[in-house]
């Protein structure tokens, strides 16, 4: 009986993470300022990483772990680059 419980729980968790991604996307699209958009993107990639981990549990495949690790690495570099870009002053607005 344990398999359906786990499968439904992971489905519910993925729905919750999907809603969380929607919230982050709202911040990414509607700003209002550039730093809010970057914050939304930072939250979005962290949630995407968690989503990949739950996919890995769902299909019992460890390969998803590698993808999650790479998303973590690349997202960090992207956010740091964007924050440095903001530091240079009024470039975007």
Partner 1 sequence: MSTTGELPVWAALLTAFLVLTGAGVTLIGSIGLVRLGSFYARVHAPTLGTTLGMACILMGSALFFSVLEARPVTHEILIAIFVTLTTPVTLLLLVRAALYRDRIAGSTDVPPADAGDGSPPPENG
Cβ 56 vs Cβ 62: under 8 Å: yes
Cβ 37 vs Cβ 67: under 8 Å: no
Which of 29, 58, 67, 74 contacts partner 1 by CB under 8 A? 58
Minimum distance between the CB of residue 60 and partner 1, rounded to whole angstroms?
5
Minimum distance between the CB of residue 63 and partner 1, rounded to whole angstroms?
12
CB neighbourhood size of 83 (10 A): 13
Is residue 70 near partner 1 by the rule CB under 8 A?
A: no
Q: State how far the Cα of 37 lies from the Cα of 88, in Å rounded to an integer.
A: 17
Which of 29, 42, 63, 67 contacts partner 1 by CB under 8 A? 42
What is the 8-class DSSP label of residue 61?
A: -
How many residues does this entry show for the chain?
93
Tell me the two tokens of residue 51.
């989503």
Question: In the complex, which residues of this chain contact partner 1 (CB under 8 A)?
Answer: 1-3, 5-7, 9-10, 12-14, 16-17, 19-21, 23-24, 26-27, 33-36, 38-40, 42-43, 46-47, 49-50, 53-54, 56-60, 62, 65, 68-69, 72-73, 76, 79-80, 83-84, 86-87, 89-90
């Amino acid at each position: 009986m344990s398999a359906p419980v786990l499968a439904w729980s992971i489905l519910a968790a993925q729905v919750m993470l999907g809603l969380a991604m929607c919230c982050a996307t709202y911040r990414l699209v509607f700003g209002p300022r550039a730093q809010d958009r970057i914050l939304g993107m930072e939250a979005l990639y962290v949630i995407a990483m968690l989503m990949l981990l739950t996919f890995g549990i769902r299909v019992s495949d460890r390969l998803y772990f590698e993808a999650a690790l790479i998303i973590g690495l690349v997202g960090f570099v992207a956010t740091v680059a964007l924050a440095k870009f903001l530091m240079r002053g009024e470039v975007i607005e």
